[in-house]
């Protein structure tokens, strides 16, 4: 018993140390990897399986419903006084019982903080979830991805567990009840297409600029034919609104690099760009042959 208490004290002390110190990114990732090893050592296989198989699906549903009911937005806007389940249900026009049930799951998993029987304040996750890009990401991943995932066993059972023969014969078609490919379907569903683009923008914001870690000089600049200004230096394939090309243009080391820059995406994406970068815009489906050669 004494040894068990000592282990608990050591872990709590380590948590306190980490909270009080600002770790660099490399150290943080190394510590995170070590922490996962600690959790795996303490957690029984049955506990892990129950979490993955039994608990995760309703947790994902509660997060998606948190977006739909405006739970994260409402709670994040009242950090001092908090919000009651009744207030959330009234503003959402939803059943108080439904709101309460999802709030309990969100509180149990740290997505909101429960301060009273029916009152909630924002946690760190609440504030992130209230971000419009994160709300869009949640809708895109759940409304599309979960439909595909839930139908995958049935799809592979029907095709004798073989690899899909084309982009139009996948769990996506079964899950969304369509004959269209993923990107064709997005083109006909503008709301989720917009969510998808916001999801991609969120991914880009969450990572360091590619110009900081990719050897542009070696792989792009060196060996480029500078003789004609019309030669294409860089093509951003499926580039959305052109964030990667914009980062390239803004990097002072390459701001004067010669050659043309091309941004490619589907026609509906290209036509919807509100503030296009100063590059050539080209509608292109990357499942077809690349029109830019050389």
Of 100, 129, 158, the domain-final residue: 129
What mean pLDDT do residues 147-157 have?
96
Q: 10 Å Cβ neighbour count for 265? A: 25
Selected residue with higher pLDDT from 135 and 287: 135
Look up residue 66 and give its two tokens.
């948190």
In a domain, 50, yes or no: yes
Q: Which of 120-134, 200-214, 238-252 has the lowest mean pLDDT?
A: 200-214
125 & 31 share domain: yes
Q: What is the rounded CA–CA span in Å between residue 192 and residue 236?
A: 23
pLDDT at 105: 96
8 & 118 share domain: yes
Of 149, 176, 205, the domain-final residue: 205
In a domain, 186, yes or no: yes
Torsion of Cα atoms, 240 then 243 then 245 then 246, to 10°:
140
* % residues pLDDT > 90 (the chain): 63
Summary mean pLDDT of the chain? 91
Selected residue with higher pLDDT from 32 and 226: 32
Give per-residue pLDDT as tens, 113-135: 999 888 999 999 999 999 999 99
189 & 224 share domain: no
Whether pLDDT at 227 is above 70: yes
155 & 67 share domain: no
Terminal Cα distance for the chain, rounded:
70
Whether pLDDT at 3 is above 70: no
44 & 108 share domain: yes
Whether pLDDT at 204 is above 80: no
Q: Which of 23-37, 129-143, 217-231, 260-274 has the largest mean confidence?
A: 129-143
Domain that holds residue 171: 132-205
17 & 60 share domain: yes
90 & 152 share domain: no
Cβ atoms of residues 281 and 218 within 8 Å: no
pLDDT at 71: 98
96 & 8 share domain: yes
Indicate the pairing of strand 113-116 with strand 83-84: unpaired
3-state secondary structure the chain: CHHHHHHHHHHHHHHHHHHHCCCCHHHHHHHHHHHHHHHHHHCCHHHHHHHHHHHHHHHHHHHHHHHHCCHHHHHHCCCCCCEEHHHHHHHHCCCHHHHHHHHHHHHHCCCCEEEECCEEECCHHHHHHCCHHHHHHHHHHHHHHHHHHHHHHHHHHHCCCCCCCCCCCCHHHHHHCCCCCHHHHHHCCHHHHHHHHHHHHHHHHCCCCHHHHCCHHHHHHCCCCCCCCCCEEEEEECCCCCHHHHHHHHCCCCCCCCCEEEEEECHHHHHCCCCCCCCEEEECCCCCCCCCCC
Give per-residue pLDDT as tens, 66-88: 999 999 999 999 999 999 999 99
CA distances from residue 246 to 41, 142, 160, 196 in whole angstroms, order as listed: 45, 30, 45, 20
What mean pLDDT do residues 127-149 have?
95
192 & 218 share domain: no
pLDDT at 2: 58
Give per-residue pLDDT as tens, 19-29: 888 888 888 88
In a domain, 18, yes or no: yes
What mean pLDDT do residues 277-282 have?
89
Of 129, 156, 188, the domain-final residue: 129
Instruction: Quote the number of domains for the chain.
Output: 3
In a domain, 13, yes or no: yes
147 & 123 share domain: no
Residue 155: pLDDT band (50, 70, 90) is very high
């Amino acid at each position: 018993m004494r040894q068990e208490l000592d282990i608990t004290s050591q872990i709590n002390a380590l948590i306190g140390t980490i909270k009080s110190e600002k770790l660099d990114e490399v150290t943080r990732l190394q510590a995170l990897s070590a922490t996962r090893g600690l959790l795996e050592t303490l957690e029984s296989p049955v506990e892990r399986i129950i979490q993955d198989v039994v608990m995760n699906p309703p947790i994902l549903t509660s997060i998606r419903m948190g977006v739909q009911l405006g739970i994260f937005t409402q709670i994040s806007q009242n950090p001092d006084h908090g919000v009651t389940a009744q207030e959330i249900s009234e503003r959402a026009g939803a059943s108080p019982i439904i709101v309460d049930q999802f709030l309990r799951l969100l509180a149990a998993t740290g997505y909101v903080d429960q301060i009273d029987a029916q009152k909630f304040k924002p946690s760190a996750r609440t504030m992130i979830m209230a971000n419009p890009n994160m709300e869009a990401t949640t809708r895109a991943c759940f409304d599309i991805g979960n439909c595909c995932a839930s139908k995958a066993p049935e799809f592979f059972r029907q095709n004798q567990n073989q690899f899909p023969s084309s982009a139009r014969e996948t769990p996506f078609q079964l899950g969304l009840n369509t004959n269209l490919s993923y990107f064709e379907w997005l083109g006909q569903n503008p709301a989720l297409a917009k969510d998808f683009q916001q999801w991609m923008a969120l991914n880009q914001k969450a990572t360091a600029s590619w110009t900081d870690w990719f050897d542009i000089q070696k792989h792009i600049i060196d060996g480029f034919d500078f003789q004609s200004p019309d030669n294409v230096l860089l093509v951003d394939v499926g580039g959305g609104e052109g964030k990667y090309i914009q980062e390239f243009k803004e990097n002072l080391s390459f701001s004067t690099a010669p050659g043309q820059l091309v941004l490619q995406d589907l026609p509906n994406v290209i036509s919807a760009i509100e503030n296009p970068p100063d590059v050539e815009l080209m509608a292109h489906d990357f499942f077809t042959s690349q029109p830019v050669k050389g």
